Amino acid sequence: MADDLGWVHLMVLAAVIVFGAVVPIVPTGPTLAAAAVLAHDEAPWELLLVLAAGWLGAYLGDCVVFVVFSATGGRVADEVPWLRADRPAISRMRTRLEENDIAAMTVSRLIPAGRLPVLIAAALSGYPWHRFAVTCVFSAGTWAVLYVGIGVLGGAVVPSNTTALIAAIAVAFAVGVVPRLLPGRRAV
C-alpha cells in the first residue's frame, strides 16, 4: 500500500464517518469523496479500501444511532420537541419501512438530512434490529459508492490532484449539504 494511504488512514477515515453518522456536524460525504480522490491518484485499487472504510463507517454509525434510540426509547422522544410533536410521523415512517425497508432506508441515506429522522423513527417504532442490520448494509453501501464515485469522477476529470480534491469536495457538499440549507425543506 502506498505511504500516503495506510491502514491508519483508513481506520481514521472509518472513525470520522462513524462519528459523523452519530453527530451529523461532520460532512462525511465530502470526507469520503476526498479520500477517494487521494486513493485514485495514488493507486486505483486503493479505492476498494476507501470504499470499504466508508461503507463500514456509515454502517457502524447508523447502527449506533439505531441502538441508542432503541435503548432509550420514549425518554428521548419526550425530550426532542419535533419527535414529541410529530408522533404520527413516526407511525407513518414505520409503515413505509414495513412496505419497502430497503428503499426507505437507502433513499433516506441519500437525501440530505433524511437519514436521522428515518433511523430515529425506525428505532422508536420498534423496527426489528435484525431487519435493520441487514437493510443498513445496502443503504450504507449505496451511500459509500455514491461518494467514492464523486471522488473518482473528480480525480478522473481534473488532471491536477489538488484541483480534483477541491472539485470533489465542492460537488459532495453540493449534493449532501446545500439542500439542507434550502428554505422550506421538511425532514423525511
pLDDT of residue 143: 95
66-113 confidence digits (pLDDT tens) = 999 888 876 766 776 666 656 676 777 778 788 888 888 888 888 877
Nearest 5 degrees, angle CA 52-CA 144-CA 136?
90
pLDDT of residue 5: 64
pLDDT confidence band for 187 (50 / 70 / 90)? very low
Q: Domain count of the chain? A: 1
| 2 occurs within a structural domain | no
| 165 occurs within a structural domain | yes
pLDDT confidence band for 1 (50 / 70 / 90)? very low
The Cβ of residue 159 has, within 10 Å, a number of other Cβ atoms equal to 8
* Higher pLDDT, residue 143 or 123: 143
| 68 occurs within a structural domain | yes
Torsion angle, alpha carbons of 77, 58, 142, 72, to 10: -20
| 37 occurs within a structural domain | yes
| 161 occurs within a structural domain | yes
CA distance 101 to 20: 23
5-46 confidence digits (pLDDT tens) = 688 989 999 999 999 999 888 889 888 988 998 887 777 788
Instruction: Write out the three cell numbers for 17.
Output: 464517518
The Cβ of residue 130 has, within 10 Å, a number of other Cβ atoms equal to 7
Whose grid coordinates read 464523486? Answer: 150
Whether 4 has a pLDDT exceeding 60, the answer reads no
143-183 confidence digits (pLDDT tens) = 999 999 988 887 777 767 677 667 777 777 676 655 555 55
Phi, psi of 125 (to 5 degrees): -90, 0
pLDDT of residue 186: 46
| 187 occurs within a structural domain | no
* pTM exceeds 0.75: yes
**What's the domain range around 32?**
7-181
| 50 occurs within a structural domain | yes
Whose grid coordinates read 428503499? Answer: 103
Distances (CA, A) of 17 to 4, 56, 70, 89, 143: 19, 9, 21, 28, 12
| 188 occurs within a structural domain | no
DSSP 23: S
